[in-house]
Chain A
Amino acid sequence: MTLTEVVAGVLEVDPAEVTDESGPETIGTWTSLRHLQLVVTLEEVYGLSFVFEEIRDVRSVGELRTVLRAKGTETR
């Protein structure tokens, strides 16, 4: 499952709407609760853990991708 698919699925948006610039300011359903569900889903899908600071500070799909890459996970 790609990052785009996970983001689109959790946030209930069309995958075509998801870009690296997408974030709470551009996707209306990206609330704080959905943000956490997104993080927890990514943890399960990719078998990794986010630390509190990462959960708190990540504000866009591109930043999520960067965090995943730093943990050794490349995803589209």
Chain B
Amino acid sequence: MSAVLFARRTRWQALTRQPPAPALRVALLASYTADPLVPYLGLGLHDTGLPAMLAVGPFQQVVQQCLATDGFLAEARPDVLVVAQRLEEAGDPGPSGDAWAAELLAGAEAAVTAARRHGALLVYVLPPVPASRYGPADAMHADGVTASATAVRQRLRDRLAGDPWVLLVDADEAVRAVGDERAYHPALFRFAKVPYTEEVFARLGTTTAALVGCWFGAGCRALVLDGDGLTGGAVHLLPALRDLRAAGVRVALRATGVDWWSSADATDLLSVLDGWVTDDRPRADQLAEIADELDVAPAQLVLAGTGPAQSPPRHVALGPDPAGWSDELRAAGLTDRLPARRWSGGTSRPAVTPTELSLDDFVAGLDVHVDYRPVTADGVAEVAEVVARAHDFALAPAPPAAALAERAADLLAIRVRDRLGDYGTSGLVALDRAGDRWTVDVFSLSCPVLGKGVEAEVLRELTRRAGAAGVGEVRVRWADTGRNGTARRFLSELDGVAPADPRVRLRAAHTDADNDATAVRAGTTTTTHRATTDRATADRTTTDRTATDRTTAVRR
């Protein structure tokens, strides 16, 4: 992270300690960890005059969260919904990228549906062309990464660009501007599913904020030159100021002292000014008068000068060399506008329409399979790491690896795969088998497999095993950790999980540090939901495994 980005993050941190009243609620959903976007988007919106409250939803659940009528978006109630998907999380590209297109268009349609439902502006982030390609001949390959990604990006643009309630931000532009060498960091993705470096997120945040600002009319309507630092160099600004005026931006000047004009050698500026205030009043009063005279909102003023930024208004910093001032003004994006005429030449039809896609259909279509296997002594370290990193779906604070090693016989590792990929070892269950009750005291799932019905499927499988063992109850014991809201919500609604064996009761028991089992919720025993175990699948895939190895398929 460069010193410049570090300073921006520090500014954002200072803002969050005493946040101004938010003008916007912004919700972010992405197929990856999008949290690093928050400071740059938040700061950009603040500097555009749109202080915002930002919330990041569960990652890799774009379709699920957009189609759900409760959950993250219902809580966030966004004015702006930012949705970002990558091709790398969309499985195999398929011929000509058709499979990628189906995945991302489904996400885009779901995002449009969610934005409409909440009356929100949708900002859709077009995916970059993946950095991993088929070698030097990829550009010639009919099904190459470049060709497939380009086709998908165009289909997304065709679908979304003409929608007046949608803004498009192109992540490929951000990646190209930074360069492949600096846009990615393998550890960020490996450990936290963060696909880009801070530089890319900074560019995405700045671009998104600028577009949202344009949409809400918070763009620059008038430029105010801060005359106090311009003495002797004002003539260098003339080319850029003429361009700004030609683009419809009003230009004014403020300075300290009634005799500023006589000392500044700046009479050349008079030909491009719509007004000026040079007196001894505070700068805020001068700016208010300029805004009033030019008939623009104070938030639409942009101040340009050599002094330090003061907020508000938005500030364009001019460097020490007056010869560069015009270029610096042009680079500030003061004339950025939404296009008067949007691209609407797309002819491709969306793969699905909002009315065709339901949450249940989407999850069922993922073709999720869950494998269960016992944990050997050699495998404890792997599952302990999964448990240590699974904060959202956990029953309690993660036990240390040594504690898990002592009870390896109680452990069941969970592996998940679906049509988008194989997520590897993604969770762990620990069972305390005592008498007629099995108590689940460790049940952790990593974020990439949440929102796919795995949580319920695992509990159904445990009730199936309990029934086969003649056990009458499976009890899930959990506590608030402060971070396990996903598990809390799921276990609080355990009524939706039907045991695979109707003879087995499924219960959730909420505990706290001092009190064991303070509240117990029961799972339903109705049979209106058919058991989800797919024996045929299990039989096909478990022929050479131990007796406790098994695969089940998620059905909704």
Contacts and interface: CB of A to CB of B under 8 A. Distances in A.
A33 B192 contact: yes
A32 B33 CA distance: 12
Interface in A21-45: 32-33, 36-37, 39-41, 44-45
Contacts of B1: 37, 40-41, 44-45
A23 to B, nearest CB: 14
Interface stretch (B2-10, B146-154, B360-368): B2-10
B35 interface: yes
Contact of B198 (A1, A39, A40, A55): A40
B187 A36 contact: yes
A32 B10 CA distance: 19
A56 B401 CA distance: 15
A55 B191 contact: yes
B194 A41 contact: no
Nearest to A31: B391
Contacts of A36: 187-188, 191-192, 194
A1, A12, A39, most chain B CB atoms within 10 A: A12
B interface, over-half SS: helix
A10 B1 CA distance: 10
Contacts of B389: 32
B13 A12 contact: yes
Nearest to B3: A1
A76 B389 CA distance: 30
A40 B192 contact: no
- Chain B contact-residue range equals 20 to 34
Contacts of B3: 1
Contact of A33 (B6, B10, B35): B35
Contact of A56 (B10, B188, B191, B197): B191
Contacts of B198: 37, 40
Given A37-B1, A52-B187, 4 more contacts: A32-B191, A32-B389, A33-B35, A55-B191
Interface in B187-246: 187-188, 190-192, 194, 197-198
Contacts of A1: 3
B472 interface: no
Contacts of A9: 6, 9-10
A interface, over-half SS: helix
17 contacts: A9-B10, A12-B13, A32-B191, A32-B192, A33-B35, A33-B194, A37-B1, A40-B1, A40-B185, A40-B197, A40-B198, A44-B1, A45-B1, A50-B187, A52-B190, A55-B187, A55-B191
Interface string B1-34: 1110010011001000000000000000000010
Contacts of A12: 13
Interface residues of A, number: 17
B191 A44 contact: no
Interface of A: 1, 9-10, 12, 32-33, 36-37, 39-41, 44-45, 50, 52, 55-56
B59 to A, nearest CB: 11
Interface of B: 1-3, 6, 9-10, 13, 33, 35-36, 185, 187-188, 190-192, 194, 197-198, 389
Contacts of B192: 32-33, 36
A20 to B, nearest CB: 22
Contacts, number: 40
Nearest to B13: A12
A55 B191 CA distance: 9
A39 to B, nearest CB: 7
Contacts of A50: 187
B425 to A, nearest CB: 16
B106 to A, nearest CB: 28
Given A32-B191, A33-B192, A55-B187, A41 B35 contact: no
Contacts of B190: 52
A67 to B, nearest CB: 14
A48 B294 CA distance: 53
A44 B185 CA distance: 12
A1 B2 CA distance: 11
A40 B6 contact: no
Contacts of A55: 187, 191
A37 B185 CA distance: 11
Contacts of B33: 33
A44 B2 contact: yes
Contacts of B188: 36, 40
Contacts of A41: 1, 6
Nearest to B482: A28
- 6 tightest A-B CB contacts, nearest first: A41-B1, A12-B13, A36-B192, A33-B192, A55-B187, A44-B1
Given A32-B191, A32-B389, A50-B187, A37 B6 contact: no
